[in-house]
Amino acid sequence: MKPLSDGTIPPEGSVYWIALKQFDEAADILNLDDGMRDLLRHPKRELTVTFPVCMDDDSLRMFTGYRVHHNTVRGPTKGGIRYHPIVNLDEIRALAMWMTWKCAVVNIPYGGAKGGVIVDPDELSIHELQRLTRRFATEISILMGPEGDIPAPDVNTNQQTMAWIMDTYSMHKGYSVPAVVTGKPIEIGGSMGRLSATGRGVMITTREALKMRGKTFSDVTVAVQGFGNVGSVAAEIMSAEGATIVAVSDASGGIANPKGLDITALKSHVVQNKLLKGFPGGDAITNEELLTYKCDVLAPCALENQITSKIADRVQASFVAEGANGPTTPEADIILEDKGVFIVPDILCNAGGVTSSYFEWVQDLQSFFWTVEEIDERLERILVEAFHQVMAGAEKRKVGKRMAAQCLGIKRVADATTARGIYP
């Protein structure tokens, strides 16, 4: 792999190494010249902040956070903020790059960004989380703005997190700026349909994949890794469409029942107990066992690098719908492709979230809001069109679905760069 401009190469197998490897392969297929490759390989800007937070016992604790803008050629940057103990700069760089291609695949006018704080939010009280969020928002506010960079929820962040960020930014401005973040509560400029949009997008793109092999949801069983904002909604909507959900999991492990799980009862159990563990409607399994469970559709909706080469050989699903970002390693990709598994790649499969965020941003800028029916119809139209553009690209270039999606997104960004030219 070619070194970055600082002479470094990310550790082999890391998410940033994977993102760059995917880009390099797509750049070869697209025959990009060396200058364009270098431009698109590198983040436009990066911010690392270290900041203090007063804890409930009056002690002071230091935290580190990041905000990375990968590319701004097609519009302001868009990307989530995650709170997790293993957050690091390379991970944020990779996720920001994938966001650039994702926005371009669904053809919305954004570039990619990502942010995060190294923290286990379960260790903090709600008041400590609010103070951390407001201080982090202040630290990165030099990059934020409705015309420049619009954060959104991600792992371990939610509507409330976005409300705190929006309020903090607005207090600094002296007036309300709802368009500075998306994924907010409805009461302060959030959009109908936003909470379910990523999971709905997983359903829509999976449905289109099933159609290509002559199937419907009524014909298939589904296993979902991750039962958070994405996985729980995807499981619920696929179940409503006729699928049999045979296994789900979260950080506490998984639950499986070959006859099908009651998703409504599962969601109620999680609301009461915070975790899936202890749900009486199935047998306990591990997260790894879920990935290799007998099913037709496997939907990894958790974190990166879940389906590895060691696991791919044992995957029994015929379809993999990537609700998470980067859940499959390059080595596992090859194994799954060789087995004939239909992969719906992450930058297509989970693009419902950023598409709905775009809708929210547009509504906030106009101060004019749409019905949930209008939003779902527009989301459906954009994702179905993007799905078939990716499939057409795979057929035309004789490449896998992931590389077809990468090529579609990268080419759109490269074309926009060429059209704008290089300043000065």
pLDDT (mean) for 104-124: 97
Do residues 170 and 153 share a domain?
yes
Return the DSSP state at 168: H
When pLDDT is cut at 50, 70 and 90, the band that residue 148 belongs to is very high
Residue with structure tokens 């609010």?
Answer: 130
Q: Is residue 411 part of a domain?
A: no
CATH code of the domain covering residue 136: 3.40.50.10860
On whether residue 184 sits in a domain, the answer given is no
The size of the chain, in residues, is: 424
For residues 298 and 258, membership in a common domain is answered with: yes
pLDDT tens digits for range 236-269: 999 999 999 999 999 889 999 999 999 999 999 9
Task: Note the pTM of the prediction, 2 decimals.
Answer: 0.94
Contact residues for 157 (Cβ-Cβ < 8 A; gap 6+): 80, 81, 82, 83
Residues 80 and 160 in one domain: yes
Burial class (CB in 10 A: 0-12, 13-18, 19+), 82: buried
Choose one of 177, 211, 242: the last residue of a domain. 177
Each residue of 365-421: pLDDT tens digit?
Answer: 999 999 999 999 999 999 999 999 999 999 999 999 999 999 999 999 999 999 999
The encoded tokens of residue 317 equal 């699903």
User: End of a domain among 349, 376, 402?
Assistant: 349
Residue 278 and residue 247 share a domain: yes
Tell me, yes or no, whether 199 and 345 share the same domain: yes
Distances, alpha carbon 157 to alpha carbons 152, 244, 299, 402, in Å: 9, 29, 21, 27
If you average pLDDT over residues 113-137, what whole number do you get? 98
| DSSP class per residue in 190-221 | --TTHHHHHHHHHHHHHHHHHHHTT--GGG-E
Final residue in a domain of this structure, among 121, 147, 177: 177
User: What single DSSP character describes residue 64?
Assistant: E
Q: Are residues 33 and 53 in the same domain?
A: no
Q: Is residue 187 assigned to a domain?
A: no
- Give the pLDDT band (50/70/90) at residue 273: confident
Query: Count of CB atoms within 10 A of residue 5's CB?
Result: 8
CA atoms of 424 and 417, how far apart (whole Å)? 13
Q: Mapping DSSP to helix (H, G, I), strand (E, B) and coil, where does residue 74 land?
A: coil
pLDDT for 164: 98
pLDDT value of position 6: 85
Residue 114 designated active-site: yes
**Same domain as 331, residue 215:** yes
Q: Average the pLDDT over 322-348 and give the result.
A: 95
Query: What is the residue type of 152?
Result: A
Could you tell me if 26 and 155 lie in one domain?
A: no
Place of tokens 């697209």: 30
Predicted confidence band of residue 5 (pLDDT cuts 50, 70, 90): confident
Catalytic residue, from 78, 102, 114, 411: name it.
114
Given this model, what pLDDT does residue 3 score? 87
Question: How far apart are the two ends of the chain, measured CA to CA in Å?
Answer: 30
Q: Would you state the structure tokens that stand for residue 169, as one six-digit string?
A: 């930014």
155-214: pLDDT as tens digits: 899 999 999 999 999 999 999 999 999 999 999 999 999 989 999 999 999 999 999 999
Cα dihedral 342, 347, 353, 356 sign: negative
| Domain membership flag for residue 382 | no
Counting the structural domains of the chain, the total is 3
Does residue 49 lie within any of the structural domains? Answer: yes
Which domain covers residue 291, as residue numbers? 195-349
> CATH code at 234?
3.40.50.720
pLDDT at 327 over 90: yes
